[in-house]
Structure 1
Amino acid sequence: MSSSNIPADLLFQSSHEWARIDGDVATVGISDHAQEELTDVVFVELPPIGKTVDAGDPTAVVESVKAASDIYSPLSGEVIEVNPAVEGDPSLVNTAPYAEGWIFKIKLSKPEQAADLLHPEAYAELIG
């Protein structure tokens, strides 16, 4: 996979979740690589708004025709928004993983954790 499929404004977890940080809010989804591995996403279980999560906690579930996969929060905080569009059309996770296919947003409680995430170049090396 070419790194051109990896937006430069994102940070990644080795478990293939991404975070786009804007102030004290992070939008979270799964990487293009992850959606390719999953194949056709048929269901997204969104977390409840108000749920408090720690970095690495299973926070949502994505089900594909192949398997169900936990989506781990890359950062600690409180879920403040979920993406209803992926509930109605789970294939958005496949077709637009970095745009309309985002899964949830969290208000960060420990913004310094962003330093532990992978930059796009390091993530590209990981998935090589």
Structure 2
Amino acid sequence: MSVKDGLYYSEDHEWVREEEDCLVIGVTDFAQEELGDIVFVELPEVEEEFEKNDGFGVLESVKAVSDTFIPVSGKILEVNENLIDNPELINDDPYGEGWLIKVDPADDSELDELLSAEEYAEFIEEE
């Protein structure tokens, strides 16, 4: 199971990557491993706005159905349409092709409240 440096992490097992004009959000390798083979993804609409920790989507696997929670407040700029027909991308490449949404953050300081890679690695060791 991998934890990538340079990302922010939530205790709900989402990761956040800063890009030039947005934040990219996905679920961690730990989360996809716990869920098992993902067979269906429900994502929000572009332009939808969320407050930090709101549920924004659903991942359905052969084992369970799990809500996803947005780790920062903001507006949805883009959703990963590739996941509709290929939800297994989340299992195959959770930090790359398996990203979920791109967000215009409402408050950049919310990133400071998230975990570093090192802190997240320690967090999942305890789970």
Q: Between Structure 1 and Structure 2, how many residues are aligned?
A: 125
Counterpart residue type for residue 65 of structure 1? V
Q: Secondary structure at the match of 2:16?
A: strand
Q: Which runs of 4+ in 1 moved over 2 A?
A: none
Deviation at 1:24? 4.6
Residue 8 of structure 1 is matched in structure 2 by 5
With normalisation by structure 1, the TM-score equals 0.95
Q: Secondary structure at the match of 1:59?
A: strand
Residue 121 of structure 2 is matched in structure 1 by 124
Between the two proteins, what is the percent identity of the paired residues?
42
Query: Is there any run of 5+ residues in structure 1 with no aligned partner, and where?
Result: none
Distance in 2, Cα, partners of 1:32 & 1:90: 14
Aligned pairs for 1:94-105 (under 5 A) are: 94-105=91-102
Residue 44 of structure 1 is matched in structure 2 by 41
Query: Is there any run of 5+ residues in structure 2 with no aligned partner, and where?
Result: none
Q: Deviations over 1:11-40 (max 9, x none)?
A: 000010000012451101000000000000
Counterpart residue type for residue 68 of structure 2? I
Distance in 1, Cα, partners of 2:45 & 2:29: 24
Q: Is the 8 A contact 1:24 1:111 kept in 2?
A: no
Distance in 2, Cα, partners of 1:113 & 1:72: 14
With normalisation by structure 2, the TM-score equals 0.95
Counterpart residue type for residue 115 of structure 1? D
